[in-house]
Amino acid sequence: MTEAVEGHITTEIVMLNPANTRSISNMTSQEFVEKLTKRLKRHPEETGGFQEAPLAYDAIWALALALNKTSGGSGRSGVRLEDFNYNNQTITDQIYRAMNSSSFEGVSGHVVFDASGSRMAWTLIEQLQGGSYKKIGYYDSTKDDLSWSKTDKWIGIFYGYKGLLLLLGIFLAYETKSVSTEKINDHRAVGMAIYNVAVLCLITAPVTMILSSQQDAAFAFAALAIVFSSYITLVVLFVPKMRRLITRGEWQSEAQDTMKTGSSTNNNEEEKSRLLEKENRELEKIIAEKEERVSELRHQLRSRQQLRPRRHPPTPPDPSGGLPRGPHEPPDRLSCDGSRVHLLYK
């Protein structure tokens, strides 16, 4: 049975105000419990009806206020409160209307009654966890407001990851701002859409938190903000594309658009390509000048090699060791060729 009931959710009326606010009796809920405990002769857990004591205390206050209102307004009908009896329907109706119109802060919470005379109190929502009940939240039937425990933490987590998504969208819009292809160069539209969503979020989030006590107004404001931002985003992103399709007939030139899309690069790459081409042309020009200079030097070298035999004709052979050698004899290592020395110094 313990395993079967584990995790079930239960509700009950809030019998003691969880907020530390002063009631119409100028006591807080904790002060009321302390005074009641001092007056008891037994332990509170052994006293029957101890938990329902705040409800009874506020009920007595509601009756006292209703009688006070009735005594003040009964003079116009000529009926005094002292003439009350169970057969006098006029005074009974006056007391009933006065009690139904009662509204004050009690030790059990805000005291108010519906049209049928039932107490409209807060409802405590609990869940059985590990053999003991844990508080999950409260439901206020007077405002139709459901408040959960750790609401601030959940709202912070929700706003946090939504903010990260906005930052991611801004980053992507910034990174694609230099794309030169017209069909996908919509970074301005994306940036405008993100700006629209961010502004509406900054306005809607605090307004809905302020209007948390008015559920209808908060829901209507949030819903209108979501619908408006979604509509503006769709219009900004897709209306220009549809207009290009209709006015330019781009659906007929899909192949050309595909070739343009494949061959186009972003502005940064085009700028780098232009710089590389310019540098390549300058290097080619320098190489051509160097090749022309090398060609001139080779031509001069061939001309000088042709002129060298004419300037220094060969000498006849000398039979003695001291005479010059013939053309077929190897030159001595210590001999010096004048034309070669002249060419080197030339």
In terms of Cα–Cα distance, which of 101, 61, 63 is closest to 84? 63
Do 127 and 184 belong together in one domain?
A: no
Domain that holds residue 139: 2-148
257 within domain boundaries: no
Mean pLDDT (whole number) for 174-197: 70
Check whether residue 240 and residue 158 sit in a common domain. Answer: yes
- Check pLDDT > 70 for residue 326: no
- Tell me whether residue 238 is in a domain: yes
Claim to verify: residue 72 and residue 164 sit in the same structural domain: no
Predicted confidence (pLDDT) at residue 322 exceeds the cutoff of 50? no
* pLDDT attached to residue 178: 65
Q: 50 and 103 in contact (C-beta within 8 Å)? A: no
**Within this chain, do residues 107 and 11 fall inside the same structural domain, yes or no?**
yes
Residue with tokens 């009631």: 23
User: Whole-angstrom Cα distance, residue 254 to residue 135?
Assistant: 62
Q: Is residue 291 part of a domain?
A: no
pLDDT at 311 over 70: no
Residue 301 placed within a domain = no
Please give the pLDDT value at position 190. 76
Q: 164 and 207 share a domain? A: yes
Strand partners, 129: 132
Percentage of the chain surpassing pLDDT 70?
A: 77
Q: Residue 333 above 80 pLDDT? A: no
Domain boundary among 148, 167, 187: 148
Summarised one tens digit per residue, pLDDT across range 212-259 is: 778 788 889 999 999 998 999 888 888 888 887 888 665 545 545 544
Domain end, chosen from 114, 148, 182, is at: 148
pLDDT at 189 over 90: no
Confidence band of 342 (pLDDT split at 50, 70, 90):
very low
Same-domain check for residues 121 and 133: yes
Domain end (from 251, 281, 296): 251
Overall number of domains in the chain? 2
Least confident of 133-142, 167-176, 201-210: 167-176
Q: Which domain CATH number covers 30? A: 3.40.50.2300
Q: Are residues 42 and 56 located together in one domain of the fold?
A: yes
Task: Indicate whether 74 and 173 sit together in one domain.
Answer: no
Q: Are residues 8 and 106 in the same domain?
A: yes
Looking at every residue in the chain, the average pLDDT score rounds to 78
Give per-residue pLDDT as tens, 21-53.
888 988 998 999 999 888 887 787 778 888 889
Residue 330 lies in a domain: no
Question: Is 324 among the domain residues?
Answer: no
Span 205-214, pLDDT tens digits: 888 888 877 8
Task: Report the pLDDT value the prediction gives residue 240, as an integer from 0 to 100.
Answer: 82
Confidence of residue 314 (pLDDT cuts 50, 70, 90): low
User: Residue 141, SS3?
Assistant: coil
Mean local confidence (pLDDT), 155-169 = 84
DSSP track, 33-62: HHHHHHH-SS-GGGSTTSTTHHHHHHHHHH
